[in-house]
Amino acid sequence: MISSLMPNYNRIDLSFSHGDGVWLVADDGRRFLDFGAGIATSSLGHGHPGLTRAIAEQAARVMHVSNLYRVPQAERLAERLVAASFADSVFFCNSGAEANEALVKAFRKTMADEGKPERYRVICAEGAFHGRTLAMISATGNARYLAGFGPAVEGFDHVPFNNLNELRAAITPETAGILVEPVQGEGGVRPASAAYLRGLRAAADEFGLLLGFDEVQCGMGRTGRLFAHEWAGVVPDAVSTAKGIGGGFPLGAMLARERVAQHLVPGSHGTTFGGNPLACAAGNAVLDVVLAPGFLDEVVRTGARFRQGLEALVLRHGDVFSAVRGQGLMQGLVCAVPNGDAQSACLVEGLLAVAAGDNVLRLVPPLIVTEAEIDDALARLDGVARRCKPYAFADAAK
């Protein structure tokens, strides 16, 4: 008989009673170092006092009023994001997929309002992940996610990631814009080169297109800058973000420059829950930490230490982990064994990690992770590598 909870996930048989910082405690008492962070989402770890207090206090006052009224918590969060980024204006929603939907709708509407309604197509990259709504599985373009769901939503073209020539060749008179992840997450922690991101801006300018970055996973401090595209010195027209922005509380955002944002006039787009007082209280509490002086520098430092340790791990155990790639606290180990085996071995070593595409083991700890906790995780990954040696499986089979 079917489980009452719909069977659309492959869940590990493990549940948690509570967390504390980078640690999660299972219902059976086992403690895990959480380098998955709920898929790069629990940016402040678990039980962060500032975040939990902000949520509790806001919940007790008022959680939801709808967007029929002003929401001061949302106004404040938007002002702070605008002050800290390329953007002039922010739209709040509840998830990454919704943030991308808003971005694509805003691109199409901008072109239509600018007198070019024939420009509605968006060029995306192979290996991308943009979410699970009907339009976003088309933007993602992965045949596995599209299968069985009828015709793909029109208007998305796909080109190889990190290849500027292919992208430029795909531009047509119907192209409205470009949407790529500065660091692909689900696709296997693949960073775009700075030259590629700069080339996207140049191509967008040359052909009058809009440039969008999906920073749902790599944004909000994950790479050591508020947004990953800042490393390349590129200014986009719009950015979607979600995962880390609420520190685990559902919140998404689409940030845009005025050219794009001005077209989302009253009645053109909306959401009931988006930008409610509770979610925005969480978002403000996360920004209190992430924008505090020195915090992102610390992410850069811990990220560099992690990267160095992972590179050493690859040198020691190349038969298990063949390469490392990523940026800041978004790192991926390319596995020479099935990444599912590595993920299972992590559990035995008391470490939580997330499998990603391209046979990668994704390591995305809370941004508050300390150097000592990085070293602890590296020691556990050494244990993972020893467990995953091809001969270790052969021995176990005897």
Contact 275, 92 (CB under 8 A): yes
CB of 108 to ligand PLP, least distance (A): 18
Q: By CB under 6 A, is residue 91 in contact with ligand PLP?
A: no
CB of 22 to ligand PLP, least distance (A): 21
Quick note: the x/- pattern for ligand PLP over 132-171, rule CB under 6 A, is ----------------------------------------
Under DSSP, the state recorded for 153 is P
Give the residue, chosen from 45, 185, 247, 332, that forms a contact with ligand PLP under the rule CB under 6 A: 185
Residues in CB range of 139: below 8 A, 6 or more apart: 100, 104, 122, 124, 128, 130, 131, 156, 179
Q: Which stretch binds ligand PLP (CB under 6 A): 128-136, 155-163, 289-297, 367-375?
A: 128-136
Taking the least distance from each CB to ligand PLP, the nearer of 182 and 309 is: 182
- The dihedral built from the CA positions of residue 16, 98, 364 and 158, taken in this order, carries a sign that is positive
3 C-beta neighbours (distance < 10 Å), count: 7
Taking the least distance from each CB to ligand PLP, the nearer of 77 and 388 is: 77
Helix residue spans in the chain (DSSP H): 37-40, 49-61, 72-83, 96-113, 134-140, 143-146, 164-170, 194-207, 258-261, 277-290, 295-316, 339-348, 371-388, 390-397
Q: By CB under 6 A, is residue 96 in contact with ligand PLP?
A: yes
Quick note: the x/- pattern for ligand PLP over 233-262, rule CB under 6 A, is ---------xx-------------------
CB of 91 to ligand PLP, least distance (A): 15
Q: By CB under 6 A, is residue 306 in contact with ligand PLP?
A: no
**Cα 191 to Cα 215, 230, 344, distances in angstroms:** 12, 13, 25
- Chain residues that interact with ligand PLP, rule: CB under 6 A: 95-97, 100, 129-131, 181, 185-186, 214, 216-217, 242-243
